[in-house]
Amino acid sequence: MSNTEQGKKLAAQAAIEYVPAGSIVGVGTGSTVNYFIDELAKIKNRIEGAVSSSEASTQRLKDHGIEVFDLNSVNDVPVYIDGADESNENLQLIKGGGGALTREKIIAQLAKKFVCIADETKLVDVLGDFPLPVEVIPMARSMIARELVKRGGQPVYRDGFVTDNGNQILDVHNLRIMEPAKLEAELNDLPGVVTVGIFALRPADVLILGTADGDIRKING
Ligand SMILES: O=C(CO)[C@H](O)[C@H](O)COP(=O)(O)O
């Protein structure tokens, strides 16, 4: 297993301590979260079930025999565990590399505590080296792309990819995101934008990083 994969797995294992007994756990999407789901399966008798941010995670949870609830039937999500493509020291994130950003943001908003898990390479000084995913309504794609160009970005259509919500993704290159919350709010306001992959208005509460030397590092927000 590579150092990166080892880091993801260590972070995922460390996140288990944040899962309260008897709870419905918010579950994100991605390769790091897949390790978390495998860990969650080991304690499945101690939880009530999960709410899931993607069809892929739902399938993996069900394969492990973990009940997945419709979010509309759930009032209380004590903890949401998810990965990230980048995080800064303020626990503001870029997410959506896997295209699940909209459902991820919905569950993060509802959750009392958002625990982000990642390998240490995801921690950056300034967000934006990772192309920023923006989920858009298909008919608005070109208009939004032009708006993104006006803001200095270079949007690339994620051709052939359709989100779980039936929408499309623009991956925006060349951004150096100095004010993440401001840019998130500004892009949220464009008609046709479904979700911006900046998680700054609701950042993570805890970041758990798995390191190359087999350790973990925690940053609290
Ligand atoms: O936001 C996400 C999916 O939409 C993922 O959390 C993000 O892409 C990180 O994925 P991985 O754990 O595979 O590196």
pTM as predicted = 0.96
Q: Is 153 in the pocket of ligand 1 (CB under 6 A)?
A: no
CB neighbour class for 164 (10 Å; exposed up to 12, middle 13-18, buried from 19): middle
Residues 105, 145 within the same domain: no
Q: Which of 9, 10, 32, 127 to mutate to test the pocket of ligand 1 (most atoms within 8 A of CB)?
A: 32
Residues 193, 205 within the same domain: no
Residues 192, 205 within the same domain: no
Check: CB of residue 64 under 8 Å from CB of residue 49: no
Q: How far apart are CA 36 and CA 82, in angstroms?
A: 9
Q: Report the atom number in ligand 1 closest to the C-alpha of 34.
A: 12
Q: Pick the residue whose CA is nearest to atom 8 on ligand 1.
A: 97
- Per-residue pLDDT 10s for the chain (221 aa) are 899 999 999 999 999 999 999 999 999 999 999 999 999 999 999 999 999 999 999 999 999 999 999 999 999 999 999 999 999 999 999 999 999 999 999 999 999 999 999 999 999 999 999 999 999 999 999 999 999 999 999 999 999 999 999 999 999 999 999 999 999 999 999 999 999 999 999 999 999 999 989 999 999 99
- 209: helix, strand or coil: strand
Residues 33, 85 within the same domain: yes
Residues 154, 90 within the same domain: no
Residues 216, 191 within the same domain: no
CA dihedral sign of residues 54, 40, 78, 221: negative
Residues 111, 155 within the same domain: no
Instruction: Please state at what angle helix 3-15 crosses helix 31-42, rounded to 10 degrees.
Output: 40
Residues 162, 109 within the same domain: no
Indicate which residues carry an active-site annotation.
Answer: 104
CATH number of the domain within which 176 lies:
3.30.70.260
Check: CB of residue 176 under 8 Å from CB of residue 128: yes
